[in-house]
A = this chain, B = another copy of it.
C-alpha cells in the first residue's frame, strides 16, 4: 500500500507523467512552527539536474501545502501537499508501451495490474520519492527540536569506498560536493568514476551510510516493529535499494562474539556507557541511546544510456534505446531520500514510545 508509518503516517500518490504527485501527512504533532524553506531545500537536494553527475532533467519540484498548517503552525490535522509535474517528455516513452525495460518494474506492474502507465516508469518512477522527502523534511523539523539529527552520505560508489568511520568526518559537509561524500578526496574519485561510467552509457551502484544521533533510549516496538525492522522496510522501499545492514552488519558475520560485545563501562559521571558501538545503537529492537548507524546498498540503475537487446511484451526480439534522461549513478540523489525515510521512522517510533509508560 501507499502509506508509511503508524502514528506519523505518510500516504503518497502520483506517477511521473501525471499532472502532479503528492501526499498526505497524518499524525503530525500539533502546534509546531513549520519552516517551509527548509522543506524546499531538502526537495532541491533530491531534485535532478543539479550537477554533472546526475540526470539533466529539470524538475522544478515546488511543494504546495494545501492543509494542516495555519498561520505558520501545524494544526494536528492532515497536511495535504502536491508537487506539479512540469518537465515531462512523455513522448520519449511512447515506444515503451510494448517494451519492458530489463530490470525495471515494467513487466511486474503489467503482470500484477494487467496494465501500466508506460510513461517514465509510471508509479515505479523514482520521481515518487519527492513526496517522501516532504514527509521526511517535516519529520526532521520535529526531531531536531528534540535534539535528534539524521545525516546520510555516499559511503561507496562501485569499488570506491571511504575508509573513514562516520565519526571522524563532518557529516554536515556531505552536501558540499556532488558525490555527497564528506571524505573530500574520496568524493573526487567517486565523481571521476561516475563521469567515466556515464561516458560509456553505463551505470554504477554503491552504498549510503546513515547516522542518527541524539536518539533517546527506548524507541522501537518489539517483536515485529523493532527499530531495525522499520528502518530496513523503509530503506528497501526506496527504488534501487538492494540491501540493508546496521551496526556491525554483514561485516560482523565473520567475527567472534568476544570481539563484537559492547562492554558496559562507567561513563565517568555516575552513569553507564559502552566501550564500543558494534550494536549500531539498537539492542533487542530498542534504541539504547548510542548513535544508530546503518548502510543501504543501491544497485546500478537499470536504464543504460545505450542501445540494449531485449524483447517486446510478446517475446519478439527488439532493441531498446532509452531516450529519457537518467542518472548514471543513483547514489548522490539517494542521500536525501535515505535521510527522509529515516526521519519518518524515528519520529514514528518516538511518538509511539510516548504510550509505553503513563
How many angstroms from the CA of A261 to the CA of B270 in the assembled complex? Answer: 56
Of the residues B114, B115, B245, B256, contact of A204 by C-beta under 8 Å: B256
Interface size on A, residues (CB 8 A): 156
Partner of A254, one of B1, B205, B308: B205
| 9 closest residue pairs by CB, A with B | A105-B284, A243-B245, A13-B80, A203-B257, A108-B286, A76-B113, A257-B300, A30-B113, A232-B232
Q: List, in ascending order, chain B residues with CB within 8 A of A21's CB.
A: 66-67, 80
A264-276 vs B, Cβ < 8 Å mask (1 yes, 0 no): 1111001110100
Chain B CB within 8 A of A116 CB? yes
Task: Find the B residue at minimum CB distance from A230.
Answer: B233
The answer to whether B264 touches A237 (Cβ under 8 A) is no
Q: Can you sample 18 A-B contacts with CB below 8 Å?
A: A2-B78, A15-B68, A21-B80, A30-B113, A30-B115, A31-B113, A76-B357, A77-B123, A112-B220, A112-B353, A123-B223, A203-B258, A233-B233, A244-B244, A258-B304, A260-B302, A261-B302, A265-B317
Question: Which residue of chain B has the shortest Cβ distance to A159 in the bound complex?
Answer: B254
Contact (Cβ within 8 A) A223 B80: no
A3–B222 Cα distance when bound, in Å, is 10
- Contacts A75-B113, A237-B229 hold; do A67 and B13 have CB atoms under 8 A apart? yes
Residues from chain B with a CB closer than 8 A to the CB of A355 are 7, 27, 29, 351-352, 354-355
Residues of B within 8 A of A217 (CB): 107-108, 111-112
* B-side contacts of A288, CB under 8 Å: 107-108, 111
A214 within 8 A of B: no
A257 to B103, CA, bound (A): 10
A257 engages B302 (CB within 8 Å): yes
* A135-161 Cβ-contact flags toward B at 8 Å (1 or 0): 000000010011000000000101100
With A14-B67, A24-B12, A67-B13 as known contacts, state yes or no: A237 contacts B226, CB within 8 Å.
yes
**Chain A contacts with B in 3-43, Cβ cutoff 8 A:** 3-4, 7, 9, 11-15, 18-24, 26-27, 29-32
Query: CA A30 – CA B31 in complex, angstroms?
Result: 28
Closest CB of chain B to A324's CB: distance in Å? 15
